[in-house]
Each structure stands twice: as C-alpha cells, then as structure tokens.
Amino acid sequence: MKIALAQINYHIGNFESNKSKIIDCIRKGEYEGADIVVFSELAISGYPPRDFLEFRDFVEQCNSLLAEIASFCTKTAAIIGLPTFNKNPKGKPLYNSAAFVNDGKILSYTHKTLLPNYDIFDEYRYFEPNSEFNVIKFKRKKIALTICEDLWNVQDNPLYTINPMDQLIDQEPDLMINIAASPFNYHQTATRKEILRKNAKQYSIPLFYVNHVGAQTELLFDGGSLVMNSAGELVDELSYFEEDFRIFDLDKVTSDDCPVLVGAMRSEIEDIHDALVMGVRNYFQKLGFNKAILGLSGGIDSAVTSAIAAEALGAENVYNVLLPSRYSSDHSVSDSVEMVKNLGMPYDIIAIEEAFNSFENLLTPFFKDLPSDITEENLQARTRGIILMALSNKFGYILLNTSNKSEAAVGYGTLYGDMNGGLSVIGDLYKTQTYELARYINRIKEVIPENIITKPPSAELRPDQKDSDSLPDYPILDEILYQYIEQRKGPREIVAMGFEPALVDRILKLVNTNEYKRYQTPPMLRVSTKAFGMGRRIPIVAKYLG
C-alpha cells in the first residue's frame, strides 16, 4: 500500500482554496500511484476555526465540500479532516472528524477522542469526544486512525483517563495514521517527535503523521509531517514551514532494511527565524495585503522586525519611517539609513519636533504647571504612532509593531504609540532572543549594522536615557520573566534560584499590573510555549502579586 502525506497551508474559511488544494493533491496522488492520500486535521475548514463552528452554515459548507471532494476519489482513497454534526441529541453539537473516502463515496468517519482544552486549545468548547473505536480496513490492511491529541496521552503526566490506541490495538492494526494541527513553538519539534516515537514503539507498528503548515493569525504551524517504523525510528520527514507532498510504500517502511534518518536537528533560532518569516508572509497573503510600514528607530527591535518583513514580503514592500526627536542620537538615524540601504528598502525621515511642540503647546495650559514626567515621554511615542497610522491609512499598508516580549511583559511601551500595529512580529521574543535572531540574520552578510546590535538599548525619550535606567540587565530580566511566564514559577521558587527577592517582587508586579496594556496589543506571532494572547488568560483586575 502506498500512502501519500499531503502537508498543506490551509486558509480558515476559504473553502474554495482549501478544496482546490485538496483535489490537486488527490489528483497528484493518483497520477503518482498512491493508494491513499492523507490530509491533516480540520483540513476543509482550516485550523482553528474557533467560533465559526457556532455557525451551522459554516459546518454545512464543510460537509458539502467533502461530498464534492469525494467524487474525485475514484481511484485513490483519502483521509480528510473536517467538523461534522453530532446527531445524538445529547452532548456537544459537533465532532472533530476524519472522513475516509473511497470509490467516490464517504465510507466512514473517525471522531477525535481527546479534546485539548489548555493553552491555545479550546476544542471541548465545540466538540463532543468520541466513544467508539474501529480500525479502517483498506487494501487488506487495518488502519488505526487517530486525530492529533489522541496520540499525546503517553506522557508521564497524562491529562486523560483513556488512550484511543489502547482501544484500537486490540483490533490488530497494521499501521497508525495520525492527522494533526500541531502549532509550532521552539520546543515543539523535539517534543512532538518524542511523543510519536513513544507511540510507534509502544504499539510496535509504523506511524504515518501529517501536520498543518502555515500561519493562522498568531498561530504558526511548522509542518514536519513524518513516517516512523515500528521501532520508533524516523524513516523520513517532510519540509518545515512550507507545503510538501510525499508518497511512502508501506512494504518498504516495514521491511528490515528500510533506511532511517540520522541527521542534525534544526537549531532553535533557525526555527524561530523561519517561523516568523512564514508568519508575516501568510498574515499579509491571507488578508490580501502586500505592503508593510514600520517605525525604524535605530534600535535592535525595529531592525530585526524590518529584516524579517523584508524577507517575508520583499524589501521593496517594506516602508521604513525614521521619526527622530530632539532626544534622538545621530547614530539612530545613520544606523537606520545604513540598514535600509543594505536591503534596498524604501524609507523617509519625518522629524516629530514640530508635531510634538504643537501637542506640548496645546496641553501646557491644562497641565497646571506640573513638571515634565513620563507624560511627555509617552507623548513623543504617541506622536510617532499618529504619523505611522496616518501613512498606513493613506496608502493601505499594515503597520508592524516592533515591541519585544520583555517590554510587553513589564509594560515598557506606550499604548497608542509604539504599541500600535496590525501585527506584532517579535512580541513573543525576549530581548536576549532578539539579539540572537539579529546575529542569525547576519549569518551570511551584514544586514543589520553592527552598531545597532552592540550599542546599549534606549527608548531615547529623554536626555541620555537607557533601558537599564528603568529595567535590570536583560539577561537577568528575561530569565525571571521566563521562569514566571513559561515555567509558571511563583516568587519563592524564583528567589530560590538565586535572584534578589526585591527584584523578583518588582518584576512580577510589573507583569501583572500591565495586563491591561497587553489586552490592547496586536496579535503576536507565537513561537514560545506560553505567549501573550489567546493562550494566556490572566484577569486584569486581579491582586495576585500586584
């Protein structure tokens, strides 16, 4: 039996595009001799459809398209993910299903059993869990078909009381097929492979796994579909961060002399870079935009954001606006000009002094002779924000936000100023990771000028200002933030690691009291295990550590 894995970049709710890609792969599989083509979880709808699932019309369109797609499966079978209706009057209204299609007909459905309801996942909000377990018989083989999370209950701390493969293995399947929508984070590739390896070894049958690829707003899917033999050895894997299609012969996969892959792992920073480039590119493509605008300050964050955007969209499509103030250093402008010339990006210099003075003069009578403070600093950032948004509106560009995770965590940013934007490119990267990414971008040639990477970071909103005036050194800050946000450690645990109690209390208080700002930020491309946004739900009006 020859099995094709179709790793596709779907578009949520774009039924015609998704249908066309699926049919093209079925035709390709038929032409190249595949017996069955396997598509990923919720392929027809795209993943995650979220509250579109509450619209009956949305689900009906998915099922109508499945019937249309089935007519193309006359010589080659297919496994296709989609939402289906639960006909039982009790329980949730839908199933997360995989349809088995052959001979032009829909022959059976397999429903997802384990419905994740943590971090970015909220599948139990919509779907009823499966309770019936049957293998699929095809070409004198028995297929144990599961959907994503169904294979993940083999970890040391299982979240569920049932394991679908324990139910299916009694029916003596010859192979496992798992269709998935497993989002990327920079630890996920290794974790995912280990989970799949455990399944192949535990049940002693080969495993064929197909994953989504592409960006869905802030969620990034890295692909990496793969095949493992019954010993849990990697036979082959598909591309990362791009569409792919490959056919495997089951007889070869199960033979004793089947070669296995032994190669170097992708580096963490390479994955982050490729994920962000894909995330920016897909965000623009799927919204129908092709040009970006950003404020280029001469600092590391805007430089990295600009470089990523140039690679994703083409340098000619990234408009850099330099917005110097009375406090900007000469090198902030010269470094920025050097960078845009390195990549051939369009740019303009718009000094904000005149506009800032106008706001100061307008507000002075109402400030009641109070001394200058952070208000005037924020006013500069908001002046820049007004200019950038005006240009965005006038020319139809998407404004890219350039804030990093360290700043977003402690509130080191100005609402309606430098926190503006339609997409946050590096909002899930700590400052120290941003420097590492800059070095990676410069791995072949100097894209980001060396002075941008080596000079002390500064917001340049007052004379001689440096980030270190307000924040601890970034290596210290980022480690405390990582332990609190990603590792969910409390203050006593972090202090026990050797950090000063007063510093830990201050940083954690800043994180919690600035939650209101993060509720108003643009979507942040997710690359970590715990990103700000849909996967982290913290109340604003809370007192804990505040």
Active site annotation includes 258: no
- The alpha helices in 288-419, defined as continuous H runs, are 300-313, 330-343, 353-363, 374-395, 405-410
Going by the DSSP 8-state scheme, the letter that residue 183 receives in this structure is B
Exactly one of 2, 112, 291, 530 is catalytic; name it: 112
Cβ-based neighbour number of residue 527 at 10 Å = 27
Residues 114, 129 contacting (CB under 8 angstroms): yes
Residues in the chain: 546
Phi-psi region of 501 (alpha: psi -120 to 50; beta: other; left: phi over 0): alpha
Name, in order, each residue with C-beta under 8 angstroms of 341's C-beta and a sequence gap of 6 or more. Answer: none
Exactly one of 73, 148, 237, 377 is catalytic; name it: 148
Residues 66, 18 contacting (CB under 8 angstroms): no
Separation between Cα atoms, residue 471 and residue 430, nearest integer Å: 14
Active site annotation includes 25: no
Name, in order, each residue with C-beta under 8 angstroms of 509's C-beta and a sequence gap of 6 or more. Answer: 545, 546
Active site annotation includes 112: yes
How far CA 403 is from CA of 7, 154, 449, in Å, comes to 32, 38, 19
- The alpha helices in 412-537, defined as continuous H runs, are 431-441, 450-454, 474-485, 491-495, 501-513, 515-518
Separation between Cα atoms, residue 425 and residue 526, nearest integer Å: 9
Going by the DSSP 8-state scheme, the letter that residue 447 receives in this structure is S
Cβ-based neighbour number of residue 429 at 10 Å = 28
**Which tokens hold the place of 210?**
């197909």
Separation between Cα atoms, residue 27 and residue 182, nearest integer Å: 26
Q: Which residue in this structure is represented by tokens 């099995």? A: 3
For 403-423, give one letter per residue: b (16+ CB within 10 A) or e. Answer: bbbbbbbbbbbbbebbbbbbb
Residues 24, 16 contacting (CB under 8 angstroms): no
**Which tokens hold the place of 115?**
């419905």
Cβ-based neighbour number of residue 288 at 10 Å = 6
Residues 355, 323 contacting (CB under 8 angstroms): no
Exactly one of 19, 25, 41, 405 is catalytic; name it: 41
Please report the DSSP string for 115-157 in residue order: ---STT--GGGTBPPP----PEEETTEEEEEEEGGGG-TTSSS
Of 212, 218, 345, which is closest to residue 282 (Cα–Cα)?
Answer: 218
For the annotated catalytic residues, the residue numbers are: 41, 112, 148
